[in-house]
Amino acid sequence: MAAQTDVIIPAGSEQLKGILTLSPNAKGIVLFAHGSGSSRLSPRNQFVAHFLQESQTATLLFDLLTEEEEKIDNVTRELRFNIPLLRERLIDATHWVFSSPETHHLTVGYFGASTGAAAALCAASSEEGREVRAVVSRGGRPDLAGSSLRRVQCPTLFIVGEKDYGVIELNQQALELLSCKKKLEIVPEATHLFEESGTLEAASRMASIWFHEFL
């Protein structure tokens, strides 16, 4: 049975709240980089995380911003697009996973949504992210990763809703810049938030299969 624990992740001078879920047989862990204006409590990411947990994959959902930063971002909406900051927070969380007695033996993957997908790709492309085994983006903005896309080496999956107009094209353009193993999956009838019946489940299944193969 999976064990869930509230954790605190050091990030420079800040501390980030997280939820770590471990199953006894887990061989890998997926770190979630949530999207614009979201948090570790995102219902959509928790849904995906539960799907991964069912397949014996550990998960770490954590806040990319502190509570004070979230208050600022709710007004300015600037920090959610500060990809370098979000990238550093994800790298800090990765260091925490590799140094924690409970998780240091696990292989690592990233799941990013919206702007969090860009942060995940930037982190995976960095020297610190060289041990990341796989990246999955759901409804992501990989285009915001810029030149980092060319340096991503791990297998990368983009999942986009069929009716997420504009974002599909951005994902297609970003996919062309990747030189790693890559794939674009289109979920029928889905819009940006995958709120349509069965669409989030379909995206979760795609992510689970990808991580099962490469993590």
Per residue in 130-161, pLDDT (tens digit) is 899 999 999 999 999 999 999 999 999 999 99
Residue 122 has pLDDT above 90, yes or no: yes
Q: How far apart are CA 198 and CA 96, in angstroms?
A: 34
What pTM did the predictor assign?
A: 0.95
| Closest-CA residue to 83 (of 128, 117, 38) | 117
What pLDDT does 139 receive?
94
Interval 31-57 mean pLDDT: 86
Q: 215 near 136, Cβ under 8 Å?
A: no
Residue 114 has pLDDT above 80, yes or no: yes
Q: 185 near 159, Cβ under 8 Å?
A: yes
Q: Which fold has domain 3-214?
A: Rossmann fold (3.40.50)
Residue 35 has pLDDT above 90, yes or no: no
| 107-113 β-sheet, strand order | 3-11, 14-22, 58-62, 28-33, 107-113, 132-138, 156-161, 182-187
> pLDDT per residue over 157-209, tens digit each?
999 999 999 999 999 999 999 999 999 999 999 999 999 999 999 999 999 99
Token pair of 205 as six digits: 């299944």
> pLDDT per residue over 61-99, tens digit each?
999 888 888 787 777 777 778 899 999 999 999 999 999
- Domain coordinates in residue numbering, the chain: 3-214
What pLDDT does 76 receive?
77
Residue 36 has pLDDT above 70, yes or no: no
What pLDDT does 37 receive?
62
What pLDDT does 88 receive?
94
Residue positions counted in the chain: 215
